[in-house]
Amino acid sequence: MNASVEKVIIPSNDDPFKGGGVGGKHTHIRLLASGLESLGVKVGTIYPHETMGFRLITRYPGALYRKMQSSKERRVESWGREKLELLRRRVRESDLDCQVLNPQDTLSLQVVATEMERRKIQIPMVLTAHGYYVREMVSAEGLDPASPLVEKQLQEELSSYALARRIICVDTRIRDYIGLYAGIDKDRMEVLPNAVDTLTFHPIQGPGRKTLRRSLNISEEAKLLFCPRRLVPKNGVEFAIRAMVPVTKKHPEAILLIAGDGPQKGHLQKVIVDTGLEGHVLLLGSVAHKAIPSYYQCSDIVLIPSIPSFGVEEATSLSMLEGMACGRPVIVSNIGGLKETITDGVNGFKVPAEDPDAIADRAIYIFDSRDAGESVALSGLEYVRKNHSHLVHAQKVLYQYKLAVVSD
């Protein structure tokens, strides 16, 4: 294809570098930028960045207003207005000097489209759909799906998909959702599962692994399960915790480390106490992405216990891919992009969602059948290196950019 793409700008409705860049979407942006730059493509980013003036005039008064509101919908609406205004300011400040814009969510897609209309310019846009924007907000914030706010934002989301020349979906279920509810032809969409930096996420064995455990103050004898998940309902962390009851009965040395923060923290702390697992389950809080590889590398099992929530299902989990890239056996829920990636007993293990006993059975099997677990882990490692390298992924994304340019 003769289309030339020398520079791309990636807008996002949140800062991919804030707090160490925790989260799959943030990691995706950074990996994509790195991969594209290795191909000779210049990459710019646009994302909200607060100034002191914005905090004094907008953020602090807004925070006070939200504290006074009993309605979740009003609090979320107020927060959304602030985020929208901050993103608009950043987009207005950008020269938009590029061949392609690659928004990472429908909010930034809408804001950039409005700004181009104001300037009377046209730049092809390729949207990356990481999930179900409004449905995920409903799930995370516990909103009423039938509220006027949710219905309004859902209609805005669905109508915005038509603004993109091409849409990259991280799993087939998201593609089908956009096709069904937004009426977008499948020919305009491409399914490209998430990628992982296989240079950063790699196995460590033998003495190196023991040294790593000591550096993290983890016993060499512990059977370690690692669950890198934000503490929101759709990530199913509670089921990983409850699975530890039967696991620790069979293996008292088992420990579950949970890396992530979120609104369910208080509830999950109570679950840990109620189940008597205080010495076996540790909430690490938010862990910077650069520190995460060490936890994968010294673990015995990686858990991705996601559940369906308000129509939201996990896409191709970056945490799952990172665990596989570190040569660890993964146990995932049989939903969304997880079930598309994992062949049960071959490159990982699948269990029914919301089933702690099934999680426990698989974990105990791996602990008791070490050779079988290592064989599956090796297959998972080979699968990720072949199919999910961020450098190969960048080439596929660049091809989508070129398709958008030639369709101009």
Distance separating alpha carbons of residues 300 and 302, to the nearest angstrom: 7
Claim to verify: residue 169 and residue 42 sit in the same structural domain: yes
Sign of CA dihedral 223, 228, 231, 236: negative
* DSSP per-residue letters across 37-86: HHTT-EEEEE-----HHHIIIIIHHHHHHHHT---HHHHHHHHHHHHHHH
Q: Is residue 81 part of a domain?
A: yes
Q: Is residue 73 part of a domain?
A: yes
Claim to verify: residue 88 and residue 103 sit in the same structural domain: yes
- 232-252 pLDDT per residue, tens: 999 999 999 999 999 999 999
Question: Looking at residue 162, which CATH number applies to its domain?
Answer: 3.40.50.2000
Q: Is residue 202 part of a domain?
A: no
Distance separating alpha carbons of residues 175 and 189, to the nearest angstrom: 7
Distance separating alpha carbons of residues 382 and 264, to the nearest angstrom: 35
Over residues 63-72, mean pLDDT: 66
Contact between 85 and 61 (Cβ < 8 Å)? no
Q: What is the pLDDT of residue 240?
A: 99
Residue 298 per-residue DSSP state: T
Q: Is residue 145 part of a domain?
A: yes
Specify the pTM: 0.81
Claim to verify: residue 172 and residue 53 sit in the same structural domain: yes
Task: Determine the structural domain holding residue 16 and report its residue range.
Answer: 7-195+389-406
Q: Is residue 200 part of a domain?
A: no
Claim to verify: residue 293 and residue 375 sit in the same structural domain: yes
* Residue 93 predicted with pLDDT over 60: yes
- 304-313 pLDDT per residue, tens: 999 998 777 8
Q: What is the pLDDT of residue 379?
A: 98
Q: Is residue 2 part of a domain?
A: no
Claim to verify: residue 179 and residue 45 sit in the same structural domain: yes
Distance separating alpha carbons of residues 219 and 255, to the nearest angstrom: 10
Claim to verify: residue 88 and residue 213 sit in the same structural domain: no
Claim to verify: residue 348 and residue 225 sit in the same structural domain: yes
Q: What is the pLDDT of residue 109?
A: 97
- 97-130 pLDDT per residue, tens: 999 999 999 999 999 999 999 999 999 999 999 9
341-357 b/e (C-beta count within 10 Å ≥ 16 → b):
bbeeeebbbbbebbbbe
Q: What is the pLDDT of residue 395?
A: 96
Provide the domain count of the chain.
Answer: 2
Q: Is residue 1 part of a domain?
A: no
Q: Is residue 217 part of a domain?
A: yes
The rounded Cα 42 to chain-centroid distance in angstroms is 24
Q: What is the pLDDT of residue 8?
A: 98
Claim to verify: residue 373 and residue 396 sit in the same structural domain: no
Q: What are phi and psi of 165, to 5 degrees?
A: -70, -40
